[in-house]
Amino acid sequence: MTEIKNKRLAIDLDGIITKENPPHEWKETTPEFYEGWYTRVAPNTENISKVNVLYTWNKIMIYTARTEDYREITESWLRDNKVKYDALIMGKLPYDFLIDDHAAHSFEDFERLIKC
Ligand SMILES: [Mg+2]
């Protein structure tokens, strides 16, 4: 079970819901490379199961640095991999660290809070 209920959860896509993050040299890579990568990236099935449990009691916002150009491919991948969510937010801020006075949780917190 989970202690998290009636919350809006923002969950990163690549590296959390997918098994890996795309290569960092993305600016030097073609859009076709990314279309292929986004289509074929493996799902993190363990995390998807947790997200789907959280979806029962919470609002799930999946966010990603992927641009709007890749929304259709991304929605299709999420559908194929049976990810339950309420919103998909494309184009996250290009930060290395996030400093926020409202709420901040690391993936380790997520792992600790979700026990399902
Ligand atoms: Mg990521």
Answer yes or no: is 1 within a domain: no
Answer yes or no: is 84 within a domain: yes
Domain count for the chain, please give it. Answer: 1
Answer yes or no: is 63 within a domain: yes
DSSP 52-115: HHHHHHSEEEEEES--GGGHHHHHHHHHHTT---SEEEES----SS---SS----HHHHHHHB-
Answer yes or no: is 90 within a domain: yes
Q: Mark the residues whose beta carbon lies below 5 A from ion ligand 1.
A: 12, 14-15, 21
d(CA 17, ligand 1 centre) in Å = 9
* Residue 75's CATH number: 3.40.50.1000
pLDDT, residue 21, reads 86
- In tens digits, the chain (116 residues) has pLDDT values of 567 889 889 899 999 999 998 877 666 678 888 899 999 999 999 999 999 999 999 999 999 989 999 999 999 999 999 999 999 999 877 767 777 666 656 666 666 666 65
Q: pTM for the full model?
A: 0.83
pLDDT, residue 113, reads 64
Show the domain range for 15: 8-113
Answer yes or no: is 2 within a domain: no
